[in-house]
Amino acid sequence: MVQDKIEKVKINEADMYAAGAYKGKEKIILVFGLNDENFGLDVQDIREIVRVPPIITRVPNALRHIKGVINLRGTIVPVLDISLRIGGSSNDMSSESRIVVVEFSEILFGILVDNVKEVNTIYEDQIEQVSDLESTVDQEFMRGVAKMEDGRIIVLLDLPALFQIDALVGYAREEE
């Protein structure tokens, strides 16, 4: 009985694909702006979004892309200016700036962004591998790009690459 239902779903998927209606698995992403580009992160990696507090406590001798730390309801969270990490210039904070709190390897990190735009659903067929895209982002930090129906391109960030310890150490050495 269950096997019959599974087969029926597979057949319906195949029919949809043949008709051009099947777009592949869907993924829900948070779209945010950073240095006049659109970026996306999988919502499953996001814990919450908070306003930038009046004070971000600086950390002495920290890497230049670490803005500092914030106290998020009793939890100390490092805040990163990922625009510096991915090859861009430092972003200026405004009233629209937000901190996107992500969880990676059971550790919370805050990512400073210019603005949060929307939550959007994308499909596998919208995601393309990174090529010579005109972007300020180092390709090693990109999982791909999503081409939206309205013509926008959203750079999908690779969270593990952003927080790779070896890369962070190498980045620190480059700054010395």
- Asked whether residue 12 carries a pLDDT value surpassing 70, the answer given is no
CB atoms within 10 A of CB 77: 20
pLDDT-based confidence at 134, cuts 50/70/90? low
Query: Would you state the pLDDT for residue 159?
Result: 86
Mean of pLDDT values over 14-34: 72
Mean of pLDDT values over 98-123: 92
Q: What is the CATH number of domain 45-150+158-175?
A: 2.40.50.180
Nearest CA to 38 out of 162, 154, 158, 123 is that of: 154
Which of the 8 DSSP states describes residue 96?
T
- Asked whether residue 78 carries a pLDDT value surpassing 90, the answer given is yes
Alpha carbon of residue 9 to chain centroid: 32
* Contact partners, residue 126, CB within 8 Å, separation at least 6: 23, 146, 147, 148
Cα angle 32, 37, 43; round to 5: 25
Cβ 44 vs Cβ 153: under 8 Å: no
What's the mean pLDDT when you consider all of the chain?
79
CB atoms within 10 A of CB 52: 19
pLDDT-based confidence at 141, cuts 50/70/90? confident
| Residue 119: φ, ψ to 5° | -105, 130
| Residue 53: φ, ψ to 5° | -70, 160
Pick the more confident residue, 30 or 131: 30
Contacts 24+ apart (CB under 8 A), 47-54: 47/101, 47/102, 47/103, 47/108, 48/101, 49/98, 49/99, 49/100, 49/101, 49/116, 50/98, 50/99, 50/101, 50/110, 51/98, 51/99, 52/93, 52/97, 52/98, 52/99, 52/112
* Consecutive H or E run containing 16: helix 2-18
- Asked whether residue 123 carries a pLDDT value surpassing 80, the answer given is yes
Query: Would you state the pLDDT for residue 136?
Result: 61
- Asked whether residue 125 carries a pLDDT value surpassing 90, the answer given is no
pLDDT-based confidence at 148, cuts 50/70/90? confident
